[in-house]
Amino acid sequence: MNNTYIQQGIDMAVQYFPKVLLAILTLWIGFWVVKKIVKLSERLMGRSDLDESLKKFLGSLIGILLKVLVVLSVASMFGVNTTSFVAILSALMVGVGMALNGTIGHFASGVMLMIFKPFKVGDLVDIGGGNLGAVDAINAFNTTLKTLDNKRIIIGNSNVTGNTITNISGQGTVGVELTFGIAYDASIDKAREIILKVGKACPHILDNPAQGVVVAELADNSVNLATRPFCKSEHYWDTLFYMQENVKKELDKANIGIPFPQMDVHMIK
């Protein structure tokens, strides 16, 4: 009986050893080829404008899919019915896809951002009418903004594409919207002269288009003068702060008051 078991073992070894050896060689060569393909794909993506994080993500995804195909090929060498395995794997992928529906949406939106490029890293943007900051990174699933006070805002890419995107610095130059209120008894011409003089002294304001000052509104407590000096996009905040501070100082020197809401109360005895 022992001889029978030994003979059966020898027969199985003779039968399966070539298959096992071939499977090991197939795995080794297959994974080596996959590695080369992934490196080649990453090199090709490196020539594009895709975000670095997205390149790595796509490279890893390609590698996983190709390795699964290699494993399925090896399994078929041993007579394993890969059709049912593929069906189970497909069902599993559908389930994962449904569970990660939001994540896949963020990824798809990230790809759309890479293709249409509504902004790039470094641009000053306003997303959704409240998320204002410089674009720090455009990742596969989210976009990161850095605010003026050095806070980091992380927004899911589907929320970015689903909201209004205002690219403040997208044109290279930007108009800085400013409004200054003066008292009703103050001279409009004098206030206009002061605002233009401060704008002329600002090192960031461009000569073309020329700065103008108009009466924007006759408000309840003030005459509101509006101006829109243009500057390079990277000087937006410097121009805004310079104008607000120095116009106030010059109006004070000229005794032109900036009114504030107030109420007169009359006591009847």
Closest to 239 measured CA to CA, from 208, 265, 200: 200
Domains, the chain, with CATH or none: 2-99 (1.10.287.1260), 118-167 (2.30.30.60), 173-253 (3.30.70.100)
pTM above 0.85, yes or no: no
Sequence-ordered alpha helix ranges (H) in the chain: 2-46, 52-77, 82-99, 101-116, 157-161, 188-201, 236-253
Span 223-264, pLDDT tens digits: 999 999 999 888 888 999 999 999 999 999 999 888 877 666
Span 28-50, pLDDT tens digits: 888 888 888 888 877 777 766 66
Tokens 């206009």 belong to residue: 192
